[in-house]
Amino acid sequence: MSEPPKDTPEAPTVSQTDFERISTIVYAEFQVDEALLEYGLPTYRLKEPQETKQAFLKVLGNLKPMHLIAILRRIDGKVVLKVVQEPQVKPSNVLVNWALFFATIATTFYTGYVISLELVNREVMSDPFTGAAMFVVAIMAVLGTHEMGHKLTANKNKMEATLPYFIPGLPPNMGGFGTFGAVIMQKSLPPNRDALFDIGSSGPIVGFVLALVASIVGLLISPIYPLTGTESGFLPVPIIFELFFVYMVRLPPGFYIMAHPVALAGWVGMIVTMLNLLPAGQLDGGHVARSVLGRSSIVFTVLSFLYLIIIGAYPMAIFLLFISMYKHPGPLDDVSSLSTGRKILTLGLVAIFVLCSFPLFPLF
C-alpha cells in the first residue's frame, strides 16, 4: 500500500523576470493562448488540440532547477497550466523504518511459532522454530516485495517516497497474523496518469507473484487429513486457493489441509493483495481507478465497502470509509490520457483481484 502526499503546493513569489523565464520554458513546449499572473501564479491557457504528455514532462524537468513544479488541469473547458512552488520534502527518520521492521519480524516469528506447534505435535515438523523462521521469511518477502514495487516505481518516476514502514500485528490467539502489512509514504505527486497507474499497480503485481510462489510451495508441503467433525478454526480461502485445491493439491472430499506456515504466508499475501486492489480511496486500486477514469468514483467506493461488509472484514470497511473522506489528489498532469497498454493491463489487475477475493457463492 502507498499513501500520497498531503502537502499542498504554495504560490511562489514571482518577479517579472522569473515570470518571463518561466514563460520561455512553457512556450518552448506548448502552444499558448494566454499567459498571465493569476493570484500570483504563472498561469497559461493552452491551445487545443496539442500533445501534452511529453511536453509537460519536459516543462517539469526544466522547472526543477528553479524549485518549481507545474500542474495541468482542465478548468471550465480549457486546458490550464499553473506553475507553483515545489513543496519542501521533510527527511524521514530511517530509524523508525528499522524499528518497525525488527518489531514486525518479532511479531511474525511468534505467529509462525504458534501456528507450527500443531504441525510439531503431529510430527510433520521437527520443531516450531523452523516453522517460525519459514513464516517470517515468506511473509516479509511478500510484504517487502509489494512495497519495494511501489518504491522502485516512485524512484523511476523521480518521485520522493520513503522506505517501507512494516506494521507489527496481533498474534494468532488475538485473531491476527503478526502483521498489519506495510506502507510507503509518497512525498510528491506522480507526474501523470501513467505514473499514477504504475505506482498503484506495481506493488500488487509483484506482491501477488511472491504470494503465488509461497502459496504453491506451502500447499505442496502441507499435510492432508480426513475430517472428523471435531475440527475448528478453518480459514476462508480466496478463489485461487479453491483452484489450487481442485487442480493442484487435488484435495479429496471429506479431507482438509493443515496449512504449513509458508502456505499461510501466501494466504496472507493474497488477502493483502485483494484489499489493496479495492478500487477506492487512496488504496492501490484507488490509484489505478483514478488513473483510468480520471476522477474518483463513489460507485466503486460503495461497492468496495459493501464487499468488505459481506465478507465480514468490518475493520477494513471502517478504514475504507475513513480514507475515502479525503479527495484523491491525482497526478500533476491530469489532462493527458492513460496509455493504451496500461488500460489493457487493468484487465489483468481485475483478474488478480478476483483470484485473491473470497467467493460469494460455492464454486465447486
Helices (H), the chain: 16-29, 53-63, 94-121, 128-156, 193-220, 239-247, 261-276, 284-293, 298-310, 314-323, 340-356
Please give the pLDDT value at position 142: 95
Q: What is the pLDDT of residues 321-347, one digit of tens each?
A: 888 877 788 899 999 999 999 999 999
Question: pLDDT band at 52, cuts 50/70/90?
Answer: very high
Q: What is the pLDDT of residues 110-147, one digit of tens each?
A: 999 999 998 898 888 889 999 999 999 999 999 999 99
- Look at residue 4 and give its three-state secondary structure: coil
* DSSP-assigned letter for residue 171: -
Question: pLDDT band at 287, cuts 50/70/90?
Answer: very high
Residue 305 in contact with residue 312, Cβ under 8 Å? no
Q: What is the pLDDT of residues 200-229, one digit of tens each?
A: 999 999 999 999 999 999 999 999 989 887
Q: Which residues, 6 or more positions from 123, have their beta carbon under 8 angstroms from its beta carbon?
A: none
Please give the pLDDT value at position 8: 46
The mean pLDDT of 168-180, rounded to a whole number, is 87
Q: What is the pLDDT of residues 60-76, one digit of tens each?
A: 999 999 999 999 999 98
Q: What is the pLDDT of residues 221-266, one digit of tens each?
A: 999 989 887 767 778 899 999 999 888 988 888 888 998 999 999 9
Q: Where do we find the cell 471550465?
A: 76
Domain boundaries defined on the chain:
2-85, 94-356
Spatial separation of the C-alpha atoms in residues 127 and 113, rounded to whole Å: 9
The mean pLDDT of 169-181, rounded to a whole number, is 86
Question: pLDDT band at 5, cuts 50/70/90?
Answer: low
Average pLDDT, the chain: 89
Q: Which residues, 6 or more positions from 164, have their beta carbon under 8 angstroms from its beta carbon?
A: 97, 101, 143, 144, 147, 148, 151, 182, 183, 184
- What is the sign of the dihedral through the CA atoms of 153, 211, 262 and 229? positive
Count of positions (residues) in the chain: 364
The mean pLDDT of 305-319, rounded to a whole number, is 88
Which residue would you say has higher pLDDT here, 33 or 359?
Answer: 33
CATH placement of domain 2-85: 3.90.1070
Please give the pLDDT value at position 314: 86
Spatial separation of the C-alpha atoms in residues 347 and 240, rounded to whole Å: 17
Percent of the chain with pLDDT over 70: 94
